[in-house]
Amino acid sequence: MRLENYVGGQFVPARSAATLDDIGPATGEVITTLPRSGPEDVDDAVRAATTAMEGRWGRATVAERADLCDAIADRIEAELDRFAALESLDTGKPVQLARTVDIPRAVSNFRFFAGAVRHGRTSMHEMDDAINYTVRRPLGVVGLITPWNLPLYLLSWKVAPALATGNAVVAKPSEITPLTASALADVVHRLGAPPGAFNLIHGLGAEVGQAMTEHPGIHGISFTGGTATGKRVGAAASATFKKLSLELGGKNATIVLDDADLDAHLATIARASFANQGQICLCGSRILVHRSRHDELVERLVAHLGTLVVGDPRDPATTFGSLTSHAHRDKVESYVRLAREEGGTVVYGGGRPVLPAPLDAGAFLQPTLITGLSPSCRTATEEIFGPVVSVHPFDSDAEATALANSVRYGLAAAVFTEGLTRAHRIANDLQTGMVWVNCWLKRDLRVPFGGVKDSGVGREGGDYSMGFYTQDKNVCIQL
């Protein structure tokens, strides 16, 4: 199996014929190769997308666009096992997680935006002597750049609204996890979508992503990834006045108040910390807990972590897989060392699990819980993006909020309390784009998704995505 780009309805190698290896992180073995594309391949894709907008795809009706999204959803759903196996192989995540979260969510993304565009509304503003009506038109050619942690989930979160609203897409998935993006291109191809409506270019961020953000033929960029990369994307995209959506990093707080019902919520607190091996931008990598509940929470979390099944991602019984690359594990491990230097006590994990061959060569790291760190130390304030979570006591709701707000990021937070008034007050005072109360990652696809501070610019989801991928035109008629 060799992956190829998908340009103008054809599967093609990079013009240079250069390739990159795709490594399966659970074993370190090469799974396949992918094109190491360059600016010339991006040019080809933009040309194909522009031609599509000038041709059949640009004239597609709302019903045709919605039907295409529904058909993509149906195909992915019908091939759930294949997609889940590919996602697990590429990322090291448990296949069961891919089967129950990643792939079903990709299906929902396509179905949701098919429905959204079918039921879309525009506005009319009446004056005494004139009427204004506002129409929504696609942006044109949009560039979609995505990370490795939830490959198809996040790619489809962008492709679905972009196609539903009538844009032509140039997509660039992470070079670390290209498999399901290629499987999506295969589905689009088999469905006979108009050539050039969906184009896929594989390759490195600095080579393909950078060329996309600089390309004058791309009218908008939706980027999900790290904050440092987001800065580069923003700077490059501004030179050609591209519309921009940036979903970036986080250092989210899970706040456990003195009245939290741990019997009801312990499993959610653990999931918020360690789901997908802690590699979800929304994971609560800092647990702030009222001092009166600190020891109880730590003890119960340690017991819970002991029940996780670390091992072969292909095994349906596995609940904790490998990290997505060896380089990333090196980075996460460096934070465990740093935490020890900063005076932390590792109360669970901290090392590599002992696993049989070939998993012994995989990028595994135990779920790791650390106490005793200052909330202002590097471990507690920098994004680690892995299964390393620190626990910090506080004495008042005001202190919890201040600690939560003390970092440069502002993506999400979760609050656990039985007190409704306290929950409202804390939710109001938190400097984040999203707050969950007594739950985590509960998703209604209509609500705004995005962060403040260094966690990004703009919102995606529901009307926010429909607005991002379109431009409004007002027509004023004198009566």
Residue 223 tokens, joined: 């980027």
Contacts of 180 (CB under 8 A, 6+ apart): 83, 86, 87, 90, 106, 151, 152, 155, 173
Q: How far is the CB of 150 from ligand 6OD (least distance, A)?
A: 5
> 439-478: which residues touch ligand NAD (CB under 6 A)?
451, 456
Binding mask 354-393 for ligand NAD (x = CB under 6 A): -----------------------------x-x--------
Q: Check if 377 is active-site.
A: no
- When asked if residue 281 is in the footprint of ligand 6OD (CB under 6 A), the reply is yes
Centre a 10 Å sphere on the Cβ of residue 427 and count the other Cβ atoms it contains.
17
**Of 150-158, 287-295, 418-426, 467-475, which segment contacts ligand 6OD by CB under 6 A?**
150-158
- When asked if residue 157 is in the footprint of ligand 6OD (CB under 6 A), the reply is yes
Binding mask 388-427 for ligand 6OD (x = CB under 6 A): ----------------------------------------
DSSP secondary structure code for residue 291 in this structure = G
CA distance 439 to 55: 46
CA distance 421 to 138: 43
- When asked if residue 39 is in the footprint of ligand NAD (CB under 6 A), the reply is no
- When asked if residue 248 is in the footprint of ligand 6OD (CB under 6 A), the reply is no
- Among residues 279 and 417, whose Cβ is nearest to ligand NAD? 279
- Write down the catalytic residue from 175, 281, 383, 460: 281
Q: Quote the strand ranges of 388-442, DSSP E.
A: 388-394, 409-410, 412-416, 434-437
What's the order of all strands across the beta sheet hosting 470-478? 124-126, 130-138, 470-478
* Residue 157's binding partner out of ligand NAD, ligand 6OD, none, with CB under 5 to 8 Å set by partner kind: ligand 6OD
- Ranges of H-type helices in 8-102: 39-54, 62-78, 80-91, 95-97
* Residue 98's binding partner out of ligand 6OD, ligand NAD, none, with CB under 5 to 8 Å set by partner kind: none
Q: What is the three-class DSSP state of 73?
A: helix
- Contact criterion met (CB below 8 Å) for 170 and 144: yes
Among 32, 33, 165, 174, binds ligand NAD (CB under 6 A): 174
* Residue 370's binding partner out of ligand NAD, ligand 6OD, none, with CB under 5 to 8 Å set by partner kind: none
- Sign (positive/negative) of CA torsion 177, 283, 268, 437? negative
- Write down the catalytic residue from 4, 87, 207, 247: 247
CA distance 89 to 85: 6
Binding positions for ligand 6OD, rule: CB under 6 A: 149-150, 154, 157, 280-282, 443, 449
Residues designated catalytic:
247, 281
